[in-house]
Amino acid sequence: MLPHPSVFKDETKLDINYTPPKLQHRSFQLQLLNQYFRHSVEAPGEMTQRVIVTGKVGTGKTVLAQHFGRGITHEAQQRNINLHYVHVNCRQNKGSFFLMLQRIVTRFHPTFPKRGYSAEELLQTLMQILDDQKAYLIVTLDELEALIQNEGSEPLYKLSRTEETRERAPRRLSLICILREPSWLNKLDASTRSTLQGNLIQLDSYSKAELEDILNDRLRLAFKPGNVAPETVTLVAELGEEEGGNARYAIELLWRAGKYADTENVRDVLPEHVRKAAGSVYASVRREEIAILDLHRKLLLLGISRRFQQTGGAHLSMGEAEESYRIACEEFNKKPRGHTQLWKYLRALASLGIIKTELSTAGQRGKTTLIGLPHIAAADLERELIRILQPTVRGYSR
């Protein structure tokens, strides 16, 4: 069989380092950054600025700063202002002030010697370069925790106070500091902390709806039209919301699901591909957790796993689960339990994290319980259940 064309149009648009042209659900924070740094393009050299951006993993801190940097340097170029933006990840530079300064200096002079200078000399060299080139610089220190943990207050004190030693000289260096938790600032001495805490931008976790918007935006850039079903995006968004509103995790999950679709040589990225992708990232459902379930919980799970494979959807209704459960009971020569008991089973399985339950939303006829299988592929779950059930159920033959 000839290989099916890839579901991807440009999978690089799902890369962690990609900065999209449009920033979803961070427009207010972007406007705030632009206001804080307005002097950089309207009155360069008159003042310096320091801003702290905080938020959990996957809340868009890095992409916000990079989007801002791209926009403000473009505006400065149009105004003939020599403004530069440099984004430095402290963790990737081993929490070393010296390595960070070295990276910044080499942005201006790529052949600058890598040895023979202390961190303080590199900082003085950087300021001299900015003076010589009549340039202005905004530095973002991403994952600042690594620098604080490794070297304490001293690097930030020097960076934030270096302009104060340059009387009557233009103000050329501004800072954006990115942290997961603002509590890390408590590890700094009072003097350093006072220079940084003035402007704080807090990014809240993304909601499911916001994650869907972000995913659909990336989907249009990364996938061929029509290759990803809406319910696939919904399932990815649900999983991203479960991981604390983590857009980074959701985007990676969508990419992995596309890879599973390509591996299977199919045209459509389905919820089952998402479940496989989630299982490859986090082994949330362990074999021993399934093995210790009682017989009818196993049969209910078996029916659910098979129905998901039949429908290819992201959710099942309570009625679909009951019907599939009864078929599994017939197959294993067992008398099915009633609706109330099955509802208790569902609640127990949800509490273990094996399935997910929620009420149907407005627009559907009546209210029913929707069942999701977010963390394991339905086919994998069926194989595991059959492996466990076959030796333990007497009289079973298929």
List pLDDT tens digits, range 294-315.
899 999 999 999 999 999 888 9
Does the structural domain 287-392 have CATH classification 3.20.20.410? no
Sort strands 369-372 and 315-317 into parallel, antiparallel or unpaired: antiparallel
User: Where do you find CATH 1.10.8.60 in the chain?
Assistant: 206-281
3-state SS, one letter per residue, for the chain: CCCCCCCECCHHHHCCCCCCCCCCCCHHHHHHHHHHCCHHHHCCCCCCCEEEEEECCCCCHHHHHHHHHHHHHHHHHHCCCCEEEEEEECCCCCCCHHHHHHHHHHHHCCCCCCCCCCHHHHHHHHHHHHHHCCCEEEEEEECCHHHHHHHCCHHHHHHHHHHHHCCCCCCCEEEEEEECCHHHHHHCCHHHHHHHCCCEEEECCCCHHHHHHHHHHHHHHHECCCCECHHHHHHHHHHHHHCCCCHHHHHHHHHHHHHHHHHCCCCCECHHHHHHHHHHHCCCCCHHHHHCCCHHHHHHHHHHHHHHHHHCCCEEEHHHHHHHHHHHHHHCCCCCCCHHHHHHHHHHHHHCCCCEEEECCCCCCCCCEEEECCCCCHHHHHHHHHHHHHHHCCCCCC
Confidence band for 283, pLDDT divided at 50, 70 and 90: very low
Q: How confident is the model at residue 345 (pLDDT cuts 50, 70, 90)?
A: very high
Closest CA to 185 of 147, 148, 142: 148
Decide: residue 108, CB within 10 A, 0-12 exposed, 13-18 middle, 19+ buried.
Answer: middle
> Could you tell me the pLDDT band of residue 162, with boundaries at 50, 70 and 90?
confident
Q: What is the mean pLDDT of residues 162-177?
A: 89
Tokens of 105: 């200096």
Q: State yes or no: pLDDT of 91 exceeds 90.
A: no
Write phi, then psi, for 107 (nearest 5 degrees): -65, -30
**What's the first-to-final CA gap in the chain, in angstroms?**
31
Name the residue type at position 281.
V
Identity of the residue numbered 54: T
- To the question of domain 27-203 being in CATH 3.40.640.10, the answer is no
The residues facing 175 across adjacent strands are 50, 139
Q: How many CB atoms lie within 10 A of CB 22?
A: 9
Nearest CA to 71 out of 15, 140, 130, 22 is that of: 22
Task: Specify the pLDDT at position 100.
Answer: 96
The pTM for the full model equals: 0.76
* Structural tokens at position 257: 């699901």
> CB–CB of 168/125 below 8 Å?
no
pLDDT at residue 266, rounded to an integer: 93
Whether 165 has a pLDDT exceeding 90, the answer reads: no
CB-CB neighbours of 391 under 10 Å:
8
Whether the pLDDT of residue 366 is over 70: the answer is: no
- How does the average pLDDT of the chain come out, rounded? 90
* CATH 3.40.50.300 boundaries in the chain: 27-203
Higher pLDDT residue, 40 or 392? 40
CATH number of 206-281: 1.10.8.60
> Is residue 39 scored above 70 in pLDDT?
yes
Confidence of residue 319 (pLDDT cuts 50, 70, 90): very high
Structure confidence at residue 106 (pLDDT): 95
d(CA 23, CA 234): 20
Rg (CA), the chain: 27
CA 241 from centroid of its chain's CA atoms: 10
pLDDT at res. 395: 54
Three-point CA angle 150, 153, 155, nearest 5°? 80
